[in-house]
């Protein structure tokens, strides 16, 4: 399908040139000394913790990252290609709270995290699971990364997200994953997970993010190099100025990854949005967030890199009309503009603060719709159906035509959650709202969930590792 373009080619080039000017003259702060030392050896000027990037170095390094890569699942049928014309959906990430219609809003737990891993595994439209779908607040902070990786690998056979928290957690993630997927060398050839590492806006990276970027790059593990600049707060209030800040941070992180290991797979990951000026808060349901998604997609293609943006994003505190229209706006823009990796595709409420069980189910329906739209069409004589149209003629019907029976399953998206029956039938089934149906649906999925098979010896080693963490 043709991608939607928000900016012209000339405007994209202007943003690129402005970005390189900022990187070379204003520079970025890197608090992590090993990163500064590496930049210095590559020819960057260093002043204290500030690094100034020569234009030629940045353009040279970003060309070394691949334009496409594959995440290899435990089940080969669920491998995921990142890049080109592909789109991959990943659920909620980073929410400290969870919400459902029965218990309301509360702190997330390890059980909640595992439940979301199961729901992501069972959804035909979610491609990648794991990550920090909700913070497991009921266990010690030191144990959380290991528990999340363990849960992601045993409750799903899809690719997953690794730690995006520190160098130590990155090393732990690689160690645990190697128990299931083989040596570091084997995983570098067939990476099973991707992690997200973020800048410290404006124009900085801290020790934890730099350390993790370098650890993953040494191992050849894919990374989302991400920026969340907030227009009017941590970036200029204009969309163009915010893009320059976002762009500079992402390109600096990508440059670091390539200096560590040439060819490290990266995703150009923009998630910038705006300040709700009336309240001084981050707004992710704003139309400007969708604008940033479209522009981020264009910048990623300009650099010939896979690109991340969008999601089922909303500022709403509950599952209501605001949540619905903001989420679909964001997801449609990601789909139509050519985003490859959509984080926060299911479950997010409250500007990343809360993960909702019911919204998770509703959002996966949005994912299914967007995948149908993304699929595009292939014009053939069979699909044009000229002979069928002539045969049926004026005033005829197609419902009982063999052409309909032959093609409808492939041509028409079949929703799982939507109510498309007539009013009388809907009323006879209890007049349930979408939220009520989603509540029942997530419970049904968890009740009938069956853990995917794992080699007994591998599972034994993995269990021994997590038990050593729990008992330490």
Burial of 245 (0-12, 13-18, 19+ CB in 10 A): buried
Long-range Cβ pairs for the range 237-242 (8 Å, 24+) = 237/274, 237/275, 239/288, 239/291, 239/292, 239/295, 240/15, 240/18, 242/272, 242/274, 242/292
> How many helices (DSSP H) and strands (DSSP E) are in the chain?
18, 21
Omega before 202 within 30 of 0, i.e. cis: yes
* Spatial separation of the C-alpha atoms in residues 446 and 336, rounded to whole Å: 32
* Spatial separation of the C-alpha atoms in residues 344 and 130, rounded to whole Å: 12
- Per-10-residue mean pLDDT, the chain, length 472: 93 98 98 98 98 98 98 98 97 97 97 98 95 96 96 97 95 97 96 98 97 98 98 97 98 98 98 96 97 98 98 97 98 98 98 97 97 92 96 96 94 86 91 95 98 96 96 88
Long-range Cβ pairs for the range 437-441 (8 Å, 24+) = 438/319, 438/357, 438/358, 438/359, 438/361, 438/362, 439/100, 439/101, 439/102, 439/357, 439/358, 441/361, 441/416, 441/417
Q: What is the pLDDT of residue 433?
A: 94
Q: What is the pLDDT of residue 333?
A: 98
Strand intervals (E) in 228-314: 230-231, 266-270, 273-276, 281-283, 307-308
The CA-based angle 253-256-258, given to 5 degrees, is 110
Angle (deg, nearest 10), helices 434-448 and 110-122: 90
| Domains of the chain, first to last | 68-375 (3.20.20.480), 381-411 (no CATH)
Residues facing 81 on adjacent strands: 70
Residues facing 52 on adjacent strands: 45
- 288, two tokens: 């400007």
Q: What is the pLDDT of residue 188?
A: 97
Q: What is the pLDDT of residue 86?
A: 97
Q: What is the pLDDT of residue 418?
A: 79
CB atoms < 10 A from the CB of 70, how many? 16
* Spatial separation of the C-alpha atoms in residues 66 and 69, rounded to whole Å: 7
Is residue 415 within 8 A of residue 365, CB to CB? The reply is yes
Q: What is the pLDDT of residue 472?
A: 83
Cα-Cα-Cα-Cα torsion 46, 51, 56, 61, nearest 10 degrees, comes to 120
Q: What is the pLDDT of residue 2?
A: 87
């Amino acid at each position: 399908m043709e991608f939607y373009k928000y900016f012209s080619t000339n405007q994209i080039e202007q943003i690129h040139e402005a970005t390189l000017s900022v990187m070379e003259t204003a520079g970025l702060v890197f608090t992590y000394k090993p990163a500064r030392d590496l930049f210095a050896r590559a020819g960057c000027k260093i002043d204290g913790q500030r690094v100034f990037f020569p234009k030629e170095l940045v353009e040279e390094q970003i060309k070394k990252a691949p334009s496409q890569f594959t995440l290899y699942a435990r089940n080969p049928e669920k491998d995921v290609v990142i890049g080109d014309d592909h789109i991959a959906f990943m659920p909620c990430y980073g929410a400290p709270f969870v919400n459902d219609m029965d218990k309301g809003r509360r702190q997330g737990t390890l059980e909640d995290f595992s439940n979301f891993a199961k729901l992501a595994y069972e959804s035909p439209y979610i491609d990648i699971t794991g990550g920090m779908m909700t913070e497991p607040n009921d266990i010690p902070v030191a144990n959380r990364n290991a528990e999340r990786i363990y849960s992601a690998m045993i409750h799903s056979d899809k690719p997953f997200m690794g730690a995006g928290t520190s160098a130590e957690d990155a090393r732990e993630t690689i160690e645990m994953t190697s128990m299931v997927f083989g040596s570091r060398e084997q995983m570098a050839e067939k990476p099973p997970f991707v992690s997200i590492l973020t800048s410290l806006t404006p124009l900085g990276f801290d020790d934890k993010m730099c350390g993790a970027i370098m650890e993953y790059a040494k191992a050849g593990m894919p990374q989302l190099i991400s920026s969340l600049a907030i227009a009017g707060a941590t970036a200029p209030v204009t969309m163009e100025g915010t893009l320059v800040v976002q762009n500079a941070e992402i390109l600096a992180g990508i440059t670091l990854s390539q200096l560590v290991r040439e060819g490290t797979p990266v995703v150009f990951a923009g998630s910038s949005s705006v300040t709700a000026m009336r309240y001084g808060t981050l707004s992710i349901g704003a139309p400007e967030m969708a604008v940033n998604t479209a522009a981020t997609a264009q910048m990623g293609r300009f650099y010939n890199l896979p690109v991340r943006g969008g999601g089922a994003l909303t500022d709403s505190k509950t599952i209501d009309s605001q949540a619905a229209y903001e989420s679909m706006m964001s997801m449609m823009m990601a789909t139509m503009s050519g985003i490859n990796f959509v984080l926060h595709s299911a479950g997010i409420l409250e500007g990343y603060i809360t993960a909702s069980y019911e919204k998770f189910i509703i959002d996966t329906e949005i994912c299914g719709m967007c995948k149908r739209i993304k699929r595009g069409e292939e014009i053939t004589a069979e699909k044009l159906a000229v002979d069928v149209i002539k045969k049926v003629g004026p005033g005829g019907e197609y419902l009982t035509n063999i052409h309909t029976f032959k093609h409808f399953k492939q041509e028409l998206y079949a929703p799982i959650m939507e109510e498309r029956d007539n009013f009388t039938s809907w009323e006879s089934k209890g007049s349930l709202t979408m939220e009520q149906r989603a509540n029942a649906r997530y419970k049904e999925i968890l009740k009938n969930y069956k853990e995917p098979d794992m080699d007994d010896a591998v599972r034994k080693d993995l269990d021994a590792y997590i038990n050593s963490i729990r008992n330490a």
